[in-house]
Structure 1
Amino acid sequence: MVLENIIPVKLAEQKPWNMFPIAFLFSTIAIFLALWIFPSHAAIVAVFLTTLACMPLMLTVIGFEKEKEERTRDYIKQLLLSFFRGKKQIKFTGTSSETKEKLLYFFIFLFLGLSLSFTFWFSVLPDNLISNLFYIQLNTIREINIGVMGKFLMGKYFSKILLNNVKVLAFCVLFSFIYGAG
């Protein structure tokens, strides 16, 4: 409830590069809370807490952009009606493509801040915390890499990596339809 109020929605939309340090802060807090409260399941809890911290701000910014887009539609309707009725044109503040571009930059800087944070803490924390915090990711990489060294282009190893990536993509698409996010 407090973290999403660090940056106002209008500021996040107008200056999306501010999301970089905010995302870094969100994931840093999530990492240390996960290690402190749920040390045995820190790998999952850190991702969950990071998502939990980002969701209110993301949903608010998307809602803000949706309102602006609805105002754009209303403007176009009023413009067409005024054209046929012979009235003066109505002032308009922005286009739909500009809004989508700002929203895209918002998510890019959010992603970069989260990525840098997890990369930073992976390289700085001691080995015992790293193995606890990133054990799921490390195990997945180890499972894929077993026997792959130097044999990447061989059919079965290439297909194993490709199949894993297709599976991840399929779940992302499925969850975006189920949850309506994405």
Structure 2
Amino acid sequence: MVLEGLIFPAKAERKPWELFFLGALYASIGMILALWIFRSEASMIMVLLTVVACLPLVYRTFKREEKKDTLINEERTLLREHGKALKFLMYLFFGFIVAYAVWFVFLPESLASSLFKVQATTINQINSKIIGNTINDNVLFQIFFNNLRVLFFAILFAFFYGAGAIFILTWNASVIGVAIGGFAKDKISHLGSYFFSIPLAIGRYMTHGIFEILAYFVGGLAGGIISVAIINHDINSDKFKVIMRDSLDLILLSIILLVIAALVEVFITPIIFS
């Protein structure tokens, strides 16, 4: 109950930057407890414990955003209000990523390999599907449709489990964190400096990753709003129709963000960090 009650949506909207540190705290405590109690399955248990810690915040956020849909009629104003929630959720997610990356870099090699073994396997599987560094349409579409699949599950989990999208997003944060950590380790061996290597690694993945992450949160928010609306409103009511229209707008926005993310990942990121 201590971790779950550290912050509420209203305060998070006022001080979104605090969620970065809260995210890092949640992820770090989850890792420590997973290593201590469930060492052999720590890769997934740490994600689960992190999710448990932030579930109340995410669920309250979905309820708060659904209520805004019933009170605000102007679409631009509504999107701006949703933006407040998305902002602090993004900070929370970045806290997860940085914590996972830093732990991956600084933990002893054997311990890091054990703790993040499932994430490392996932990264290897993703990399094996994209052969070479050739920039072509196949890679572009492959990246886009892979990200679209993640978006689909984020919406699906949010719809069926309310705040369930946070599980998909936290899992992705752990994978991204390991990818960043691996890149940083490689650069440390060349540059010999943590000070330059870790920010460089974060920049390498966040250049396009920020669009992907935002897309997943926008989609998850849409799914969560629909889920709450179905519980609270008659599906034939005018309010429900307004909520559905807003949610569909959010889903469309998330797809557009994924298109941008794929274009940046294929055409811009390799140029900057080649």
TM-score (norm 1): 0.72
Asked if structure 2 preserves the Cα contact closer than 8 Å seen for 1:35 and 1:42, the reply is yes
Give the equivalent residue in structure 1 for 2:30.
Answer: 30
- TM superposition shift of 1:62: 2.4
Write out the 4+ residue segments of structure 1 that deviate beyond 6 Å after TM superposition: none
- TM superposition shift of 1:23: 0.7
Between stretches 133-142 and 166-175, larger displacement belongs to 166-175
Partner Cα separation in structure 1 for residue 87 and residue 129 of structure 2: 40
Between stretches 29-38 and 7-16, larger displacement belongs to 7-16
The yes-or-no answer on 1:14 pairing with 2:14 is: yes
Out of 114, 130, 136, the position equivalent to 2:96 is 114
- TM superposition shift of 1:165: 5.4
Between stretches 20-29 and 169-178, larger displacement belongs to 169-178
Greater relative contact order, per chain length (Cα 8 Å cut-off, separation 6+): 1
Partner Cα separation in structure 2 for residue 20 and residue 123 of structure 1: 19
Give the equivalent residue in structure 2 for 1:57.
Answer: 57
The structure with the larger Rg is 1
Between stretches 139-148 and 25-34, larger displacement belongs to 139-148
Change (3 A) 1:65 1:148: closer
- TM superposition shift of 1:178: 3.9
Change (3 A) 1:168 1:105: closer
TM-score (norm 2): 0.50
Give the equivalent residue in structure 2 for 1:98.
Answer: 80
Asked if structure 2 preserves the Cα contact closer than 8 Å seen for 1:12 and 1:61, the reply is no
Between stretches 169-178 and 107-116, larger displacement belongs to 169-178
Is there any run of 5+ residues in structure 2 with no aligned partner, and where? 166-219, 221-274
Give the equivalent residue in structure 2 for 1:84.
Answer: none
Partner Cα separation in structure 2 for residue 16 and residue 135 of structure 1: 32
Between stretches 38-47 and 103-112, larger displacement belongs to 103-112
Q: Look up the equivalent residue of 1:139 and give its one-letter code.
A: T
The yes-or-no answer on 1:139 pairing with 2:156 is: no
After TM superposition, the structure 1 = structure 2 runs for residues 120-159 of structure 1, keeping only pairs within 5 Å, are 120-145=102-127, 151-153=132-134
Q: Look up the equivalent residue of 1:54 and give its one-letter code.
A: C
Partner Cα separation in structure 2 for residue 143 and residue 24 of structure 1: 27
After TM superposition, the structure 1 = structure 2 runs for residues 41-52 of structure 1, keeping only pairs within 5 Å, are 41-52=41-52
Give the equivalent residue in structure 1 for 2:169.
Answer: none
Asked if structure 1 preserves the Cα contact closer than 8 Å seen for 2:26 and 2:50, the reply is yes
Is there any run of 5+ residues in structure 1 with no aligned partner, and where? 77-94
Paired positions, count: 160
Change (3 A) 1:147 1:17: closer
Asked if structure 2 preserves the Cα contact closer than 8 Å seen for 1:16 and 1:105, the reply is yes
Between stretches 49-58 and 165-174, larger displacement belongs to 165-174
- TM superposition shift of 1:43: 0.1
Change (3 A) 1:33 1:141: same
Q: Percent identity?
A: 39
TM-superposition CA deviations, 1:143-181 (whole Å, max 9, x none): 4445977x34399x959x757656545544544454354
TM-superposition CA deviations, 1:106-160 (whole Å, max 9, x none): 11111111111111111111112211111011122334445977x34399x959x
The secondary structure found in structure 1 opposite 2:7 is coil
